[in-house]
Structure 1
Amino acid sequence: MHDVLTIVMGGGKGTRLYPLTADRAKPAVPFGAKYRLVDIPLSNSIAANFKKIYVLTQFNTASLHLHIGNTYIFDSFTNGFVEVLAAEQTFTHTGWYEGTADAVRKNLVHFRTQKPTHYMILSGDQLYRMDLRGFFDEHIQSGAEASVAVLPVNRKDATGFGILTVDTKKRIKKFTEKPPLEKDITALKIPKTLAARLPNYEEGKDYLASMGIYIFNAETMEAVLDSDEADFGKEILPNMIGSRHVNAYFFNGFWEDIGTIESFYKTSLDLADIYPAFNLYDEDMPIYTRRRDLPPSKLNSCTISHTLAADGCIITESSISRSVIGIRTIIGEGCTLEGVVCMGADYYEEPGPEPLEEGTHVPPIGIGRGTRIRQAIIDKNARIGEGCSIGWDGIPPEGDYERYFVRDGIIIVPKNGVIPAGTVI
């Protein structure tokens, strides 16, 4: 009998996703109108019937705890759980997680109580749908001590991945972590005989990249973590190649790293395409999230195209194109949104007198009448007043401004942010 324990790596401070990570852990960032990033790996694991899951994180964990506690509740007949393990001080260690391997090492005391035969390591900031059961079955059949999910990438993208080579039996022979562009890695190119066997190989994608998704036999995990090596990709796996059997699993499907503002924005908008690269409407492998029992969205005389809209929205006489509209979003009359990722709100605001902030009326939560927004991310509970123009006549230079941020050419209104009426950005 095999007993798989899933470990979702929540990452560090999430600086590449700042300011979306200013008040929340990276796995808790809202995504796809109604989900959180952590819902992706959790749903993949649950679909494979791997229901013993820990999420490791160490920064801004409150919203992540709340989301998981309200969402992943298994019945008493299911031997499963989803729990967050934040970095903690003990008598044996007092520091932060120093890397992915160090995070697992410092929590082995919790993992051992589940008596797993295997560990499955997943990343918390990737969008994909993988048959993890198939991955695990291939790992068992190969007789490997560890397996790494891989996919082909081009030379430019190779700088952000662990690049590896394999033999005809998929056994990994070399592993090079994030080779810089100036380094000659021609020797790591996929052989033509192997490229013909790869289901998702494309001309120009000449290197096999680690996806940061691993399976370890439990005894192997214990052995390789009996050291001070901090990271799987930089140290653990490269050092295993010569002495242990490590296999590659060729992934055939959509995969995207959404750990930066640019990739988060582009991937979010792609979900609203007529034929998106990632299909949210797969009934066989759904993406699970919190059930909120919200009313249906109400659209009053609107023009909407290539847009996702979640539950509980009220949109009136507005034009919206190529956008993602999150839960409980209120959009007033005469607004125009193009290329906007709006994360919505945590609650409905009771109507009443508007409070004052520095002598200015604070707008209600949502987007006020007559506002135009282009190429922007509007975080949760933002208040945007009437008659604003955001990104319509160009994007300001990169930087942190008083009420907004600009990252990768995208304007970001932060969580609980306030944009007074008539503001032009």
Structure 2
Amino acid sequence: MRATDCLVLILGGGKGTRLFPLTLERSKPAINFAGKYRLIDIPVSNGINSGFNKIFVLTQFLSASLHEHIMHTYRFDNFSKGFVEILSAEQNHKSSEWFHGTADAVRRVMRHLRYMPQEYVLILSGDHLYQMDYRDLLRFHLNKNADVTIASILVDAEEASRMGVIDCLDSGRVKRLIEKPQHLGRLKIKPEMKGGKKSYCSSMGIYLFKRDVLFDILSTTKAEDFGKHILPMLIKRDKAVYSYKFKGYWRDVGTIKSYYEASMDLISKKPKFNFFNEKRPVFTRARFLPPSEIIDSHCVNTLIADGCRIKKTKIENSIIGLRTKIMGGSKIKNSIIIGNNYYQRRIKGELMKPYIGKGVVIERAIVGKNVTIGNFCRITDKRGSADIDRDLFCVRDGITILKRGVSIKPRTVI
């Protein structure tokens, strides 16, 4: 078994409406995470750590930020033959349409893949949080002589209704795949027990195909989605479709609530996702920033990225992103400060210096990139509040999100 026999395709995702306003100017995989990373760094790092270093990222919607990040981050030397490259939706002589689904996206870039020699194709999502050695998945696939292997995980009934539920034999062979079922009880699928709760085997959106099987089904059908159409079709055709049960941590961060909760878990006593695993590092862009300067401040359960300047501030249960400047007397609790692209920059003739001013209080909020918050502003805990949409901020699931690049006037209360 050689990892070099597998080509990796990472799907860049759609509009990401459930993550708005974080997706106001960028695609889901380009969203900042844990102070210094992007979500796309997770699957790319999993691939590189597994020895799968021939990676294409399929993009379509608001992709400029994602393109820039990948271009500046993943550069292989001339002798490794590895790459991370972008394949964008494009017009050609036969079609002028955009991607219409996960399977349609792969179909429309197949002409770029036909001359790649790899025997297997691994298809991933660009907005999931997990650490997996894909060699274990490939080994399972080969041992079963599978045509397709679906990585799966046990989840509770509520989460299973948002995923693809798998009904399989004891051998792991899949009998049925039901995408986002509305009534689990009617499916007559026997649940498994996990932590004393009924759990269902559900698709992680990770698919390993024999290359010929993938190309054949995409060439002979117009089906648009893997979970809804392609995989059920292959099961009906009696192809060898298997479920590989993953026992580690996995999280879909496709909503503001799940993004916030996954971020807050990073600063818990025992984080489920481990950024400190030397054997499986998470790679990202090297920015060559100075160490963070923290003066006369009190920080508890907090992650602070590079290049920050924090003075006389109390920070609790929060994540502070790159180049954040916080002035004296401020309090930040249960919040995510995404950080800044610059310390100062002239934009439309005006010199911009994003910062969090004196005496600011921020609770249970996500502060977007390059935001300026004037002195003595208060952003209060909105648990129990209805969703709100304003020019400068939104509220989703009781979490206040300040939009990218906004300026909040001094003494504003949100």
Q: Please give the range of the TM-score, normalised by the shorter of the 2 chains.
A: over 0.9
Q: Deviations over 1:313-333 (max 9, x none)?
A: 000000000000000000000
Q: After the TM superposition, which residues 134-213 of structure 1 pair with which residues of structure 2 at under 5 Å, given as runs?
A: 134-181=136-183, 184-185=185-186, 187-190=188-191, 201-213=194-206
d(CA) in 1 for partners of 2:63, 2:391: 26
> Does the residue aligned with 1:247 lie in a helix, a strand or coil?
strand
Query: Quick one: distance in 2 between partners of 1:17 and 1:308?
Result: 22
Among candidates 265, 279, 299, match of residue 260 of structure 2: 265
Tell me what 2:40 maps to: 38
Inter-partner Cα distance in structure 2 for 1:303 and 1:16: 34
Q: Kindly indicate whether residue 321 of structure 2 is the aligned counterpart of residue 323 of structure 1.
A: no
Does residue 213 of structure 2 align to residue 220 of structure 1? yes
Q: For 1:392 and 1:146, how far apart are their aligned partners in 2? A: 46
Partner of 1:235: 229
Aligned match of 1:198: none
Q: 1:350 to 1:6 in 2, by over 3 A?
A: closer
Q: Which residue of 2 aligns with 1:23?
A: 25
Q: Give a deviation string over 1:210-234, Cα, whole Å, max 9, x none.
A: 0000100000001111210000000
Once the two structures are superposed, residues 24-66 of structure 1 have per-residue CA deviations (whole angstroms, 9 ceiling, x without a partner) of 1111000010000000000001111111111112111111111
In the other structure, the counterpart of 1:276 is 271
| Cα displacement string for residues 13-32 of structure 1 (whole angstroms, at most 9, x for unaligned residues) | 11111111111111100001
Supply the distance in 2 between the matched residues of 1:153 and 1:163 (Cα, whole angstroms). Answer: 10
1:372–1:392 contact (8 Å) kept in structure 2: no
Aligned-residue CA RMSD (Å): 1.8
1:229-378 mapped onto 2 (5 Å cutoff): 229-242=223-236, 243-349=238-344, 364-378=353-367
- Per-residue CA shift, 1:76-134, capped at 9, x if unaligned? 11111111222111112211111100000000011112222111011111100011111
- SS of the residue aligned with 1:267? helix
1:273–1:307 CA contact under 8 A, matched in 2? no
Opposite residue 209 of structure 1, the aligned amino acid is: S
1:169 is displaced (CA, Å) by 1.3
1:50-61 matches, within 5 Å, as: 50-61=52-63
User: C-alpha displacement at 1:276, in angstroms?
Assistant: 0.8
Is the Cα–Cα contact under 8 Å of residues 345 and 352 in structure 2 kept in the other structure? no
TM-score relative to the length of structure 2: 0.95
Deviation at 1:418, TM superposition (A): 1.1
1:238–1:203 distance in 2 versus 1, CA, 3 Å: farther
Q: Identity, % of aligned pairs?
A: 42
Check 1:291–1:103 CA distance in 2 against 1; reply closer, same or farther (3 A cut): same
Change in Cα spacing, 1:106 to 1:394, as seen in structure 2 (3 Å) is closer
- Structure 1 SS opposite 2:276: coil
Are the aligned partners of 1:363 and 1:418 in contact in 2 as well (CA < 8 Å)? no
> Residues of 2 paired with 1:412 and 1:369: CA distance?
20
1:27-106 alignment to 2 at 5 Å? Answer: 27-106=29-108
2:370 equivalent in structure 1 = 381
Give the total of aligned pairs. 408
For residues 333 and 363 of structure 1, do their structure 2 counterparts lie closer, same or farther at Cα, with a shift above 3 Å needed? farther
Distance in 1 between the 2:168 and 2:284 partners? 37
Rounded Cα–Cα distance in structure 1 between residues aligned with 2:169 and 2:382: 54
- In the TM superposition, residue 396 of structure 1 has moved relative to its aligned partner by 5.3
Q: Is the 8 A contact 1:148 1:247 kept in 2?
A: yes
1:375 and 1:405 mapped to 2: Cα distance?
A: 13
Contact 1:258 1:264 in 2 (8 A): yes
* Distance in 1 between residues matched to 2:150 and 2:59, nearest whole Å: 22
Tell me the secondary structure at the aligned position of residue 135 of structure 1.
Answer: helix
SS at match of 2:142: helix
Structure 1 pair 394–43 and aligned structure 2 pair: CA distance change class (3 A):
closer
State the shift of 1:395 in Å. 7.2
Would the alpha carbon gap of residues 350 and 18 (structure 1) be closer, same or farther in structure 2, given more than 3 Å must change? closer
1:120 and 2:122 aligned: yes
Normalising by the residue count of structure 1, what TM-score does the alignment of the two structures yield?
0.93
User: Does structure 2 conserve the Cα–Cα contact (< 8 Å) formed by 1:363 and 1:385?
Assistant: no
Distance in 1 (alpha carbons) for counterparts of 2:391 and 2:43: 35
- Conserved in 2, the CA contact under 8 Å of 1:189 and 1:206? no
Amino acid at match of 2:249: F
**3-state SS, counterpart of residue 152 of structure 1:** strand
Instruction: Tell me the CA shift for residue 350 of structure 1.
Output: 6.9
Kindly tell me: are residues 25 and 82 of structure 1, through their superposed partners in 2, closer, same or farther at Cα, counting changes over 3 Å? same
What amino acid sits opposite 1:57 in the alignment? T
Stretches of structure 1 that go unaligned for 5 or more consecutive residues are 196-200, 356-361
* Aligned counterparts of 2:191 and 2:215: Cα–Cα separation in 1: 32
